[in-house]
Amino acid sequence: MTLSLLTAGVVLFHLLGIFAAMHAVMHTRTPQGAIGWALGLLLLPYLTLLPYLYLGESRFRGYLSKHQARLLSSVPVLADEDAVAPGCARFDSIASMQGRPFRSGHRLRLLIDGDATFDVMLAAMEAAEQCLLVQFFIFHDDNLGRRMQQVLLQRAAAGVRVCVLFDGVGSHDLPRHYVDTLREGGVAIHPFATRRWRNRFQLNFRNHRKIVVVDGARAFIGGLNVGDEYLGLKPPLAPWRDTHLELQGPVVTDLQQLFAEDWQWITGAPPPLLPSPPCDGEASALVVASGPADPQETCSLYFTAAINAARERVWLSTPYFVPDYAVLAALRLAVLRGVDVRMLIPSRPDHRTVFLASTLHAYQALRAGIRMFRYQPGFLHQKALLIDHDSASIGSMNLDSRSFRLNFEVTALVVDRSFAAEVEAMLEADFARARQVDEHEYTDAPYLRRVAMHVARLFDPLL
């Protein structure tokens, strides 16, 4: 009897593996991923069925129709699109992919590291009079998290409508009482989750965006989350190097739209929305959003198009250097055009598998003529891109498969010489604190460590 049950179980596993392999072949985005999943599901279904249930889906079902609807069609954008900087034209493919144009008339403030960012952001939130939209990948119940909690409660008590989203996986250790306290204080707060049955078991599709909008007039995006480590208070990664951006102007409406799409997916109702008032700034900007609901791999295409537009320089800062073939090809072509291509990456790992794969990619990039630098003082979490002398972007996008294909991300692409000069000065200071990498980092590594790098690279689609 026991043997019969065991045999039936083995047969069932293999049948399920066959059906799952068919699904993988039909739906996995890349041929490499399809081959990997199919072989694993056919040969070792006992080990791969459960991971496939949690990781195998490549598209965020059900969100797409809401994403395409553009929920804020009733919210006017107060901007003269004909007045954008001439340099915006070379990024037309990115604007077309987004379905929104560059907009003119923005004031910007570059916020370097956690103290400067949260001092300005929390002060802006404390001044909110009508509406606060707040979204982070991570909330922690620590000193910074409680500072944020108190501001949200105070504004809700003052009659401000406060809407908060956090990622259910990114904030997996956020205690229930933190959320309950906010709800009891009048804050509408929800975890971002897949919610639909077809995505129910997926650990992919994380909402990695960081968006704060104050009264429809001021917005903040970038790389920082709500936790003491982002203030550089948690060794061994401290000090923490990161960058955020404050925006005023018409693209604040676009950021409200992104928040509204996520909010309505979770709650079924739109958040409070306000028109963004005119601004006397001079910068032109485009909000670039990406995610697994997109019909194409928007994040990868964004980096590819931006790099291809460069004629003088591409300086890029990223915590995870795991580029796909399209982005790496764009970087190589830029080198061949005579473009100054520099990449700033961490010297300390926060995820060891990613760090190993990144080290191998850095070696291959060096051989293609890309200059690689490792930031020395602490962990580098900054996501910044500088193109030539007039364009730069700050946001949440990493150079890895999670950002390219699986996470919801957002960045602001700015065309403005003054802002680009600020980003240039910031990155020059970062490069001055970095060590330039040479090929010996890979070639002089112990053999087993080099083997580990190549094994880690096999997991690029999941990193």
DSSP string, 67-123: HHH-TTTTS-----GGGS-GGGGGGHHHHHHHTS--EEEEEEEEEESHHHHHHHHHH
Over its C-alpha atoms, the chain yields an Rg (Å, rounded) of: 23
What is the C-alpha to C-alpha distance for residues 331 and 84, in angstroms, rounded to an integer? Answer: 27
Catalytic residue among 67, 210, 244, 361: 210
Q: How far is CA 128 from the centre of its chain?
A: 26
12-46 per-residue burial string, b: 16 or more CB within 10 A, e: under 16: ebeeebeebbebbeeebbbeebbebbbebbbeebe
Catalytic residue among 141, 242, 254, 388: 388
Would you say 413 and 108 are in contact if contact means Cβ atoms under 8 Å apart?
A: no
Catalytic residue among 244, 254, 381, 416: 381
Q: State whether residue 413 is helix, strand or coil.
A: strand
Catalytic residue among 106, 208, 244, 361: 208
Catalytic residue among 113, 167, 215, 242: 215
Q: Which of 216, 109, 120, 112 is nearest to 161 (CA)?
A: 216
CA dist 374 to 320, 344, 347, 417, 459, Å? Answer: 12, 6, 5, 27, 23
The crossing angle, in degrees rounded to 10, of helices 45-55 and 2-27 is 40
Q: Which two tokens stand for residue 107?
A: 């004031």
Mark whether 388 is an active-site residue: yes
What is the C-alpha to C-alpha distance for residues 425 and 463, in angstroms, rounded to an integer? Answer: 31
What is the C-alpha to C-alpha distance for residues 222 and 373, in angstroms, rounded to an integer? Answer: 21
Alpha helices in 216-351 (DSSP H): 251-267, 298-308, 325-336
Mark whether 390 is an active-site residue: no
Q: Which two tokens stand for residue 151?
A: 């501001």
* Ramachandran area for residue 229 (φ above 0: left; ψ -120 to 50: alpha; else beta): alpha
Q: Tokens 């002089």 belong to which residue?
A: 444
Mark whether 454 is an active-site residue: no
One-letter identity of residue 371: R
Would you say 463 and 455 are in contact if contact means Cβ atoms under 8 Å apart?
A: no
Mark whether 383 is an active-site residue: yes
Instruction: List CB contacts of 161: < 8 A, sequence separation 6 or more.
Output: 130, 131, 132, 188, 271, 272
Catalytic residue among 141, 167, 383, 400: 383
Alpha helices in 128-223 (DSSP H): 143-157, 176-184
Mark whether 172 is an active-site residue: no
Residues designated as active site: 208, 210, 215, 381, 383, 388
